[in-house]
């Protein structure tokens, strides 16, 4: 995705619920941050536009890094990579925006990630993983196997490829098989594949 296309498209949508994100150079949460975050679809904007305003948030993030001498890539690459982080898991855009705004407000010239942002980072990670932590995945029988803790329950997902296409996945909670399911892809992460609804994730 081209930087200009992404930035231009998102900026053109700012008129609806994104006035706060317009302050591209401001680092005040009252001026630049939470207004823009509110425009992110499920966070108070239109539900069918979950990524509205993301380009402006990412511009602010990279501008903040540049001003503090913490930018490790070109400004354009920084904005593009930031946008892709949002786009990869759009249903968690609200959590990501809150985390990024924390970095804008709290990061100092030492470039270290502020400890105060750990809670918002954890909220984003929790959203992206469906509440699964310490998940270990490995190849198995031509497919894959993942084990971890999801919502305080020990779960295991094993998927093996079908003869024609897709895969058959076995979904376990503890040592109990709660069911099997068909997946178009060989995908074993518990909260992302076909086992998710069987495991109530």
- Going by the DSSP 8-state scheme, the letter that residue 33 receives in this structure is I
pLDDT tens-place string over residues 113-136: 999 999 999 899 888 888 898 899
CA-closest candidate to residue 168, choices 181, 179, 156, 177:
181
* The pair of three-digit structure tokens given for residue 116, joined into one six-digit string: 């105060």
pLDDT tens-place string over residues 34-60: 333 333 433 333 333 457 789 999 999
- Position 90 scores a pLDDT of 84
pLDDT tens-place string over residues 134-159: 899 999 888 999 999 999 999 999 99
Q: Which residue is listed with tokens 């502020």?
A: 114
Q: Is 3 exposed, middle or buried (0-12, 13-18, 19+ CB in 10 A)?
A: middle
Is the model's pLDDT at 177 over the cut of 50?
yes
- Going by the DSSP 8-state scheme, the letter that residue 193 receives in this structure is S
Q: Which residue is listed with tokens 């190849």?
A: 139
Is the model's pLDDT at 86 over the cut of 70?
yes
- Confidence class for position 30, pLDDT limits 50, 70, 90: very low
The alpha carbon dihedral of 87, 89, 94, 98 has a sign of negative
If you average pLDDT over residues 70-84, what whole number do you get?
A: 93
Residues 20, 89: Cα–Cα separation, whole Å: 23
* The pair of three-digit structure tokens given for residue 195, joined into one six-digit string: 């086992």
- Position 91 scores a pLDDT of 82
Residues 86, 77: Cα–Cα separation, whole Å: 14
Q: By the 8 A CB rule, do 168 and 193 touch?
A: no
């Amino acid at each position: 995705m081209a930087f200009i296309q992404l930035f231009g498209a998102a900026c053109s949508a700012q008129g609806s619920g994104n006035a706060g994100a317009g302050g591209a150079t401001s680092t005040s949460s009252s001026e630049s941050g939470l207004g823009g975050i509110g425009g992110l679809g499920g966070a108070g904007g239109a539900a069918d536009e979950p990524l509205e305003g993301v380009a402006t948030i990412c511009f602010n993030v990279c501008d903040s890094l540049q001003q503090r001498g913490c930018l490790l890539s070109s400004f354009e690459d920084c904005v593009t990579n930031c946008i892709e982080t949002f786009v990869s898991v759009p249903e968690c855009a609200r959590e990501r925006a809150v985390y990024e705004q924390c970095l804008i407000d709290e990061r100092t010239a030492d470039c270290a990630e502020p400890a105060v942002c750990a809670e918002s980072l954890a909220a984003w990670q929790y959203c992206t993983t469906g509440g699964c932590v310490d998940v270990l995945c490995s190849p198995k029988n031509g497919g894959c196997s993942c084990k971890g803790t999801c919502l305080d329950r020990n779960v295991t997902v094993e998927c093996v490829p079908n003869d024609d296409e897709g895969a058959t996945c076995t979904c376990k909670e503890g040592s109990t098989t709660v069911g099997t399911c068909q997946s178009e892809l060989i995908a074993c992460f518990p909260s992302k594949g076909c086992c998710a609804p069987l495991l109530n994730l």
